[in-house]
């Protein structure tokens, strides 16, 4: 299915040479052959590029009508006649690059909308666009080629690196961001963390949240996700970390590089993650935990204790995934035996 031109830019058609060069791929075919876009193995036409990552999709690959397919070397022989095999190490990642070639994202237009409010001492980098009714606070520093959408709030003193994108209704305060940070619509970064004590008379006393948020290069915060600023230390999301929509990150949380938190994950305060930790949807973390690098947490898991590097856990409370499934098998056998005993007693 072709991308709808009302919503997505288009930079095609593109030659086979251009496509292969973008992904470092090798091919055997007419270098000037032209392609108009991308598509799935099942739906792509002879003028479109598709991809096949794994042998389990080989039957779809053999039947594809695509004009070119990004494949690993092991699947090149499965590409049908008339279709060009573009051999590359990681076809799925390469396909993302090719799709972006045909449909590049919006570029800043180097202008400030007349309805935007920009503080007199704010520093706006060259090439940056600030959209309608956005507010840029006092002392804020926005890098070059940033794209600030409509109704965005950038708080006092906030620093954005070059090439950052803040989509509509996002807000950010008390934060320092490296280059290429993306806040999706409605994202909230830098607000107070959930910190309070109970006074002797039962009243809640809010503790001042005096830290910041640090977002590393290429961090993305999904729509309506929240990243609280630190209490006495900073909240830190490491380079390349990605938050899906509706994720909550509490105060003083620190992640390493390339962590992935899927929709509705909640991370309580002062939890520390290593590099490349991934957590499935609705997983929850108690506070003050240490999660080792490359740990994998299953969807809806409840993590209440530290995890070593490369742990794979599931369930509530979270336990090693093999143990959880063994326990489930035992429960199923016990349930089956119970039903069998009841039938015999009834007979």
Confirm if 209 and 232 have CB atoms less than 8 A apart. Answer: no
Extract the tokens encoding 157: 């003193």
In the chain, what percentage of residues exceed pLDDT 70?
100
Q: Which one has a higher pLDDT value, 106 or 114?
A: 114
Cis bond before residue 317 (omega within 30° of 0): yes
For residue 139, report the phi and psi dihedrals to the nearest 5 degrees. Answer: 75, 5
pLDDT score of 263:
96
Q: What is the DSSP string of 126-160?
A: TT-EE-TT-EE-TT-EE-TT-EE-TT-EE-TT-EE
Report residue 319's pLDDT band, with 50, 70 and 90 as the boundaries.
confident
**CB within 8 A of 12, min separation 6: which ones?**
35, 36, 37, 102
Find the DSSP H helices in 50-192: 58-63, 91-102
Where in the sequence numbering do the catalytic residues fall? 251
Helix/strand/coil for 236: strand
**Which residue shows structure tokens 């499934």?**
325
How many Cβ atoms are within 10 Å of 18's Cβ, its own excluded?
16
Residue of 213 and 335 predicted with greater confidence: 213
The pLDDT tens digits for 70-85 are 999 999 999 999 999 9
Q: What's the N-to-C CA distance of the chain in angstroms?
A: 60
pLDDT per residue as tens digits for the range 264-308: 999 999 999 999 999 999 999 999 999 999 999 999 999 999 999
Q: Is the peptide bond before 13 cis (omega within 30 degrees of 0)?
A: yes
**Whole-number Å distance between alpha carbons of 172 and 159:** 10
**Domain limits, the chain:** 14-102
* Cα–Cα distance, 347 to 344 (Å, whole number): 5
Q: Find the DSSP H helices in 24-162.
A: 58-63, 91-102
pLDDT of residue 1: 61
| 148 touches 166 (CB < 8 A) | yes
* H helix runs in the chain, sequence order: 16-23, 58-63, 91-102, 321-346
User: Regarding the domain with residue range 14-102, which homologous superfamily does it belong to in the CATH classification?
Assistant: MurE/MurF, N-terminal domain (3.40.1390.10)
User: In this structure, is the dihedral angle defined by the CA atoms of residues 22, 24, 25 and 27, taken in order, positive or negative?
Assistant: positive
Provide the whole-model pTM.
Answer: 0.89
Helix (H, G, I), strand (E, B) or coil at 288: coil
């Amino acid at each position: 299915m072709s991308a709808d031109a009302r919503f997505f830019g288009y930079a095609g058609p593109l030659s086979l040479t251009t496509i292969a060069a973008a992904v470092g791929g090798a091919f055997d075919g007419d270098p000037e052959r032209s392609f108009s876009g991308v598509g799935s193995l099942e739906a792509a036409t002879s003028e479109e590029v598709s991809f096949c990552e794994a042998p389990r999709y080989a039957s779809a690959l053999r039947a594809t009508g695509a004009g070119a397919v990004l494949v690993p070397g092991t699947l090149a022989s499965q590409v049908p006649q008339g279709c060009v095999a573009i051999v590359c190490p990681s076809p799925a990642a390469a396909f993302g690059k090719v799709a972006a070639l045909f449909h590049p994202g919006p570029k800043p237009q180097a202008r400030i909308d007349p309805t935007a409010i920009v503080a007199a001492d704010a520093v706006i980098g060259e090439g940056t666009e600030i959209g309608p009714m956005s507010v840029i606070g006092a002392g804020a520093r926005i890098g070059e080629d940033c794209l600030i959408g409509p109704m965005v709030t950038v708080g006092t003193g906030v620093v954005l690196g070059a090439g950052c994108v803040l989509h509509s209704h996002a807000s950010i305060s008390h934060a320092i961001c490296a280059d290429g940070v993306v806040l999706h619509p409605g994202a909230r970064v830098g607000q107070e963390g959930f910190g309070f004590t109970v006074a002797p008379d039962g009243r809640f006393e809010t503790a001042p949240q005096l830290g910041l948020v640090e977002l590393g290069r290429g961090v993305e915060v999904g729509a309506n996700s929240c990243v609280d600023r630190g209490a006495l230390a900073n909240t830190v999301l490491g380079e390349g970390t990605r938050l899906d929509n509706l994720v909550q990150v509490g105060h003083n949380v620190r992640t390493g590089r390339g962590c992935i938190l899927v929709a509705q994950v909640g991370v309580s305060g002062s939890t520390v993650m290593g590099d490349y930790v991934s957590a499935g949807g609705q997983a929850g973390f108690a506070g003050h935990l240490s999660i080792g690098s490359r740990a994998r947490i299953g969807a809806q898991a409840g993590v209440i204790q530290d995890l070593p590097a490369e742990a794979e856990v599931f369930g509530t409370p979270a336990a090693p995934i093999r143990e959880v499934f063994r326990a489930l098998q035992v429960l199923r056998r016990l349930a089956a035996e119970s039903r069998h005993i009841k039938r015999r007693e009834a007979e």
